[in-house]
Amino acid sequence: MTTTVESTTRSEAAITEAEIDAGRRAHELDRTHVFHSWQAQGPFSPMTVLRAEGSRVWDGEGRELLDFSSQLVNTNIGHQHPAVVAAIQEQAGKLCTIAPQHVNDARSEAARLITELTPDGLDHVFFTNGGADANEHAIRMARLHTGRHKVLSAYRSYHGGTQLAVNVTGDPRRFPNDYSAEGVVHFMPAYPYRSYFGSETEEQETERALRHLEDMILLEGPDRIAALVLETVPGTAGIYAPPPGYLAGVRELTRKHGIVYIADEVMAGFGRTGAWFAVDHWDVAPDLITFAKGVNSGYVPLGGVAISRPIYETFVDRTYPGGLTYSGHPLACAAAVATITAMREEGMVENAARLGTDVIGPRLREIAERHQSVGDVRGLGCFWAVELVKDRTTREPLAPYGGSSKAMAELMKALLAGGVLAFANFNRIHVVPPLNTPDEDVIRGLEVLDEAL
């Protein structure tokens, strides 16, 4: 497919001195009163954003930057898409909020559109405010559906910042919150670049990782395991796609042992990988899919769980014990309807696939050849990681797992100086621009990365 997406409108007007002054005042107030996520508050000096449009943002000094991060990998359609902004404004004029027990046209339509995109059989949606609570509810549904308690999840994963979601998370972000992880058991993921199984080929990795998973299931007691939660393509934990056959194997094992398979597509879903859902690449239908972020590009907070029929049927004559005041919020759902519609009309998912295959992948591989510090480049669609190492042979990471390093900090500084706002995690730079970023901008961003390296 060779669809190209026209760049959305650009902010032609220069940033004014008044905007810059207002931004400085906002920064002062922020440091006085705002408590930020995942930060030591004292040394933190966040970047001010004065405006954003398409794949560009303007910082507190009025400097234009290319947004290679899509914020937290959520602005899949870029910033300020006019159709989505208009839909939110229109909905706000009609009905800003309504409790979840009432019917609302934006919510009904969003659910219809989402279930058109999910694999066959997942035809109901429970709406949440974001990704962590989607995972919390998916696990609750699985526990009630199976009458079992344990939850299996992979090391090197991220499932959100609320209590159970952070316990299920398999990277160091869970350590300070690990105290009530009762029933949560982690397994080794299939991760060919740093195989835990000593695999030398992807086939070996699939076979060994699945054998390990089945051993874990048997050792933990299949009749005690409610759910297996797995990011289809883990995001902040490394953007490592599963080797061929792995997800089909996970599907088979979970089915065999009566375990609910929850695919966390909070980051990978809604076009990010060049398919509506990442499971589409491997033709796998989980029992539950959790989503958020790209469903409406984060313009208004929204997440949810797409539910398969057998799990839905558990709650036909039995109350589902859970809910949220803002479940299926009209403004968020109107934004989702407009986002999905714009993505379809403008061919954004196809464009993401094309960008990955024709632009990002080949150029990152060229960059890898030029720089000894690049250990691995991997990804699909607009979802790529550059894994940096001190030594290609030993694969010693450029920053420790769960930590940072001076080299990584300097690289980020160099990217910013070159006009690129990127996302880094531990020893990785993530190349995750909006799906409709014009080719010339993607190429320019990659040139800046090449120079910065």
- Compare residues 236 and 273 and give the one whose CB is closer to ligand PLP: 236
| DSSP H or E stretch at residue 129 | none
**Least CB distance to ligand PLP at residue 124 (A):** 20
Q: Name the segment binding ligand PLP (CB under 6 A); options: 87-95, 112-120, 209-217, 229-237.
A: 229-237
- CA dihedral in degrees (388, 268, 81, 338; nearest 10)? 180
Q: Name the segment binding ligand PLP (CB under 6 A); options: 20-28, 127-135, 181-189, 255-263.
A: 127-135
Is residue 72 near ligand PLP by the rule CB under 6 A? yes
Q: Quickly tell me which residue has 């989402």 as its tokens.
A: 114
Is residue 271 near ligand PLP by the rule CB under 6 A? no
Question: How far, in Å, CA of 39 to CA of 114, rounded?
Answer: 34
**Least CB distance to ligand PLP at residue 235 (A):** 4
- Compare residues 238 and 438 and give the one whose CB is closer to ligand PLP: 238
Can you tell me which of 292, 337, 421, 442 binds ligand PLP, judged by CB under 6 A? Answer: 292
Question: How far, in Å, CA of 3 to CA of 357, rounded?
Answer: 13
Which residues, in sequence order, are bridge partners of residue 154?
187
| Cα distance from N-terminal residue to C-terminal residue, the chain | 32
Is residue 267 near ligand PLP by the rule CB under 6 A? yes
Can you tell me which of 209, 266, 446, 453 binds ligand PLP, judged by CB under 6 A? Answer: 266
Fill in the amino acid letter for 27: H
Q: Name the segment binding ligand PLP (CB under 6 A); options: 3-11, 54-62, 212-220, 259-267.
A: 259-267
- Compare residues 78 and 303 and give the one whose CB is closer to ligand PLP: 303
**Least CB distance to ligand PLP at residue 207 (A):** 26
Can you tell me which of 235, 304, 375, 433 binds ligand PLP, judged by CB under 6 A? Answer: 235
Instruction: List CB contacts of 306: < 8 A, sequence separation 6 or more.
Output: 114, 115, 118, 122, 124, 125, 288, 289, 290, 291
Is residue 158 near ligand PLP by the rule CB under 6 A? yes
Question: How far, in Å, CA of 325 to CA of 336, rounded?
Answer: 18
- Compare residues 230 and 448 and give the one whose CB is closer to ligand PLP: 230
**What is the 8-class DSSP label of residue 285?**
-
Closest residue to ligand PLP: CB criterion: 131
DSSP string, 347-405: THHHHHHHIIIIIIHHHHHHHHHH-TTEEEEEEETTEEEEEEEEETTTTEESS-TT---
Can you tell me which of 140, 150, 159, 186 binds ligand PLP, judged by CB under 6 A? Answer: 159
Is residue 324 near ligand PLP by the rule CB under 6 A? no
Can you tell me which of 136, 207, 264, 376 binds ligand PLP, judged by CB under 6 A? Answer: 264
Q: Which of 399, 448, 351, 267 is nearest to 8 (CA)?
A: 351
Q: Name the segment binding ligand PLP (CB under 6 A); options: 96-104, 155-163, 244-252, 311-319.
A: 155-163
- Compare residues 235 and 361 and give the one whose CB is closer to ligand PLP: 235
Is residue 425 near ligand PLP by the rule CB under 6 A? no
Is residue 160 near ligand PLP by the rule CB under 6 A? yes
Question: How far, in Å, CA of 387 to CA of 371, rounded?
Answer: 12
**Least CB distance to ligand PLP at residue 131 (A):** 2
Q: Which long-range contacts (CB under 8 A, 24 or more apart) does 397-405 make?
A: 397/426, 397/427, 398/373, 398/427, 399/426, 399/427, 400/426, 400/427, 401/171, 401/172, 401/426, 401/427, 402/171, 402/172, 402/173, 402/175, 402/426
Is residue 269 near ligand PLP by the rule CB under 6 A? no
Is residue 375 near ligand PLP by the rule CB under 6 A? no
**Least CB distance to ligand PLP at residue 161 (A):** 6
**Least CB distance to ligand PLP at residue 80 (A):** 20
- Compare residues 192 and 234 and give the one whose CB is closer to ligand PLP: 234
Is residue 132 near ligand PLP by the rule CB under 6 A? yes
- Compare residues 250 and 453 and give the one whose CB is closer to ligand PLP: 250
Other CB atoms within a 10 A radius of the CB of residue 248 amount to 15
* Paired tokens of 275: 């398919």
Can you tell me which of 131, 381, 434, 445 binds ligand PLP, judged by CB under 6 A? Answer: 131
| DSSP H or E stretch at residue 323 | none
* Paired tokens of 343: 């993505």
Question: How far, in Å, CA of 165 to CA of 47, rounded?
Answer: 28
**Least CB distance to ligand PLP at residue 225 (A):** 20
**What is the 8-class DSSP label of residue 79?**
B
**Least CB distance to ligand PLP at residue 134 (A):** 7
Distances (CA, A) of 268 to 244, 370, 392: 17, 29, 28
Which parts of this chain interact with ligand PLP (CB under 6 A)? 72, 130-132, 135, 158-160, 231, 235-236, 264, 266-267, 292, 303
